[in-house]
Amino acid sequence: MNRRFSVLLIEDEEHIRTIVEYNLGLDGFEVYLAEDGPTGLNIATTKEPDVILLDWMLPGMDGLKVLEKLKADQRTKSIPVFMLTAKRMMNDVGKALYAGADDYIVKPFEAEELGEVLRHKLESIVKI
Ligand code: CA
């Protein structure tokens, strides 16, 4: 990896936050964590991560709403967003892409492979 990517994970499930932080950390990513949408939006504007992993099913403000807010804010609109999507929600993926998501990752995913997947997706989006 040519440089250190930073990732913001917005995910309400603690065990997913834990394994993603651990595995991406091992992989050399800088990881920020948020357990809900408002916290995630706040971190996105202050830390300006290279990519945001956004869970769709969040309590309160759901992922699609968070996505809309990210894309409506000048400070965060250009940050790539990958939606974390349960298999049963696959029919709705179009909605997220239409709302500005760059890609999606189907849950459950292999946390050990996430770094490689992310890097691959990022390198096709971010010119490095
Ligand atoms: Ca969730």
Question: CATH number, domain at 48?
Answer: 3.40.50.2300
How many domains are there within the chain? 1
Q: What residues make up the domain containing 91?
A: 6-125
Whether 78 is covered by a domain: the verdict is yes
**Residue 43 to residue 81: CA distance in whole angstroms:** 14
For ligand 1, the distance from its centroid to the CA atom of residue 12, given in whole angstroms, is 5
Q: Which two tokens stand for residue 55?
A: 């869970």
Whether 80 is covered by a domain: the verdict is yes
Whether 1 is covered by a domain: the verdict is no
For ligand 1, the distance from its centroid to the CA atom of residue 11, given in whole angstroms, is 6
For ligand 1, the distance from its centroid to the CA atom of residue 13, given in whole angstroms, is 6
Composition of the chain by helix, strand, coil, percent to 5 = 50, 20, 30
For ligand 1, the distance from its centroid to the CA atom of residue 128, given in whole angstroms, is 31
Whether 111 is covered by a domain: the verdict is yes
Alpha carbon dihedral 61, 35, 8, 117, in 10-degree steps, equals: -90
**Residue 79 to residue 60: CA distance in whole angstroms:** 23
For ligand 1, the distance from its centroid to the CA atom of residue 91, given in whole angstroms, is 17
Whether 37 is covered by a domain: the verdict is yes
Tens digit of pLDDT at every position of the chain (128 positions): 457 899 999 999 999 999 999 999 999 999 999 999 999 999 999 999 999 999 999 999 999 999 999 999 999 999 999 999 987 877 888 889 989 999 999 998 999 999 999 988 888 876 54
Tokens 């040519």 correspond to 2
